[in-house]
Amino acid sequence: MADVIVLANADERDLRQLAEYRAVGGYTQLERVRSLEPAAIIDELNTANLRGRGGAFFPSGRKMQFIPPKEQIPKPHYVCVNADESEPGTFKDREIMNRVPHRLIEGSLIAAHAIDSQHVFIYIRGEYLDAFETLRTALDDARGAGLFNGVTVVLHRGAGAYICGEESGLLESLEGKRGQARSRPPFPAASGLYASPTLINNVETIATIPKILELGGAEYAKIGAPPDSTGTRLFCLSGNVVKGGNYELPMGITIREVIYDLGGGIPDGRALKAVIPGGSSMPILTADQIDVPLEHDALRALDTFLGAAAVIVVDDRACMVQLGLRVAQFYMHESCGKCTPCREGTRWMVQLLEAIEAGDATHSQLDLLLDVCDRILGKCLCPLGDAAAMPVASYVVKFRDEFRAHVDQGGCPFGGESSLEGLFAPVDQHTHHPVAEVPA
């Protein structure tokens, strides 16, 4: 069985070209399903058990079923493709847009048919100029070939804010407002873009749909780690690993296999220290946990998540306090500021981590840091606050001795020379606003 789904045939052919995509069966599923009832498409996706690839792993067919019929809400229905991809460690959607743009377009048009929509918006991260250009050309080609059948497709560039990848922030931004999360309910299915029923899905989720319809949901569901983690993921392998990059693999492959069999292991004979399994917002795993299969249930059992499938490898040069600080700085910077636990909590986390790294903290402040994380978790308007609190709390719990050593030695045991090279880019210090007092 074919285990490459989203990037199928992209190694052999230039699938950016419409003719090449058509030569491997491209757009035949769109043409086929247009004569079918929308429910037939949704049934296949439910049989496939396709789950969202944007992070939350929500069943995609069920999400479509939440869209009320037009008789119930007589407004236009919208499809929004989330191409904002800003979570540190993720770079898969970019590859999909750059290499198989027509598969994404075909999936979007099929999704539009499935929810009786005539309007597709693709919200693309502003920094992805290459993917924007590729997608724009592909859209022009598909439109020119008459494949849109009356559907309008708008490609919209974001202005570089992580919160605009959060689905309600994305909708605000698309409406021309400041990117801030909305309180829910109502959920987008009932009241999304322009207060109309809206389906929002990640690029990879949407780009998987044509192949599911080609294979049939039941066949697709045999790939990966059924029943819950069916199919493939584009694993973004990065950090301290020899051969980083995107690897499309069936879910259920172990972290060890990804790092050592495919990624060539850790460079320069260094030792593995930890692995982040799904992007910067996910709780960390220690080196002795890498035999876990990369699938939802197994990772949940270890109190972490697959998230956006960004596997970040951390070697023994990394100071976990510095790593926590870098992560917390990112989320502080990206907090939209609408709710207090996230706005104030992320800043407080940064202050505490700075004090720990500088050797100015007490042991009780390690507990205080965990307490701050706890007061953010589950208490925010959107999951960005959790995205900051979950990973940092996991660093403190799993590497408590290293945090303690900072306090005991009055400074960083790495002598401030820890290398976070290749992990996450530091936040621009001009946007960092330290506050003098660290609460005890």
Ligand X SMILES: Cc1cc2nc3c(=O)[nH]c(=O)nc-3n(C[C@H](O)[C@H](O)[C@H](O)COP(=O)(O)O)c2cc1C
User: What is the spatial distance between Cα 220 and Cα 90, in angstroms, rounded to a whole number?
Assistant: 24
End-to-end CA distance of the chain: 59
- Given ligand SF4, ligand X, none, residue 342, with its beta carbon under 5 to 8 Å by kind, binds ligand SF4
Provide the residue count of the chain. 440
Contact between 335 and ligand SF4 per CB under 6 A = yes
Any idea which residue has 């970019």 for tokens?
94
431 DSSP 8-state letter: G
Give the residue ranges of DSSP H helices in 69-119.
92-99, 101-114
- From the list 169, 218, 172, 64, the residue with the least C-alpha distance to 381 is 169
Site string (153-192) toward ligand SF4, x via CB under 6 A: ----------x-----------------x-----------
Q: How far is the CB of 337 from ligand SF4 (least distance, A)?
A: 5
Q: Which is nearer to ligand SF4, 165 or 231 (CB)?
A: 165
- Given ligand SF4, ligand X, none, residue 416, with its beta carbon under 5 to 8 Å by kind, binds none
CA 397 to each of CA 281, 313, 322, 324, 424: distance values in angstroms, whole numbers, following the listed order: 16, 19, 15, 12, 21
User: What is the spatial distance between Cα 321 and Cα 392, in angstroms, rounded to a whole number?
Assistant: 9
List the one residue from 126, 265, 383, 413 that touches ligand X (CB under 6 A): 383
Q: How far is the CB of 187 from ligand SF4 (least distance, A)?
A: 15
Q: How far is the CB of 339 from ligand SF4 (least distance, A)?
A: 3
Contact between 7 and ligand X per CB under 6 A = no
Contact between 347 and ligand SF4 per CB under 6 A = no
List the one residue from 10, 45, 48, 84 that touches ligand X (CB under 6 A): 84
- Given ligand SF4, ligand X, none, residue 56, with its beta carbon under 5 to 8 Å by kind, binds ligand X
List the one residue from 45, 199, 285, 342 that touches ligand SF4 (CB under 6 A): 342
Q: Which is nearer to ligand SF4, 163 or 366 (CB)?
A: 163
For helices 129-144 and 92-99, the axis angle rounded to 10 degrees is 40
What residues numbered 196-255 form the site for ligand X, per CB under 6 A?
200-202, 205
Burial class (CB in 10 A: 0-12, 13-18, 19+), 385: buried
Q: State the chain's maximal CA–CA distance in angstroms.
A: 71
Q: How far is CA 166 from the centre of its chain?
A: 10
Residues 6+ apart with CB under 8 A from 298: 225, 292
HSE-up of 219 (CA within 13 Å, CB side)? 10
For helices 340-358 and 320-334, the axis angle rounded to 10 degrees is 150
> Are 254 and 288 a contacting pair, CB within 8 Å?
no
Q: Which is nearer to ligand SF4, 290 or 328 (CB)?
A: 328
Contact between 384 and ligand SF4 per CB under 6 A = yes
- Given ligand X, ligand SF4, none, residue 196, with its beta carbon under 5 to 8 Å by kind, binds none
Extract the tokens encoding 418: 């820890």
Site string (283-322) toward ligand X, x via CB under 6 A: ----------------------------------------
User: What is the spatial distance between Cα 119 and Cα 200, in angstroms, rounded to a whole number?
Assistant: 12
Q: Which is nearer to ligand X, 85 or 248 (CB)?
A: 85
- Given ligand X, ligand SF4, none, residue 193, with its beta carbon under 5 to 8 Å by kind, binds none
Q: How far is the CB of 159 from ligand X (least distance, A)?
A: 14
Residue type, 339: C
Contact between 231 and ligand SF4 per CB under 6 A = no
What residues numbered 85-124 form the site for ligand X, per CB under 6 A?
85-87
Give the interface with ligand SF4 as residue ranges (CB under 6 A): 163, 181, 335-339, 342-343, 380-382, 384-385
Give the interface with ligand X as residue ranges (CB under 6 A): 52-56, 58, 82, 84-87, 162-163, 165-167, 200-202, 205, 382-384, 387
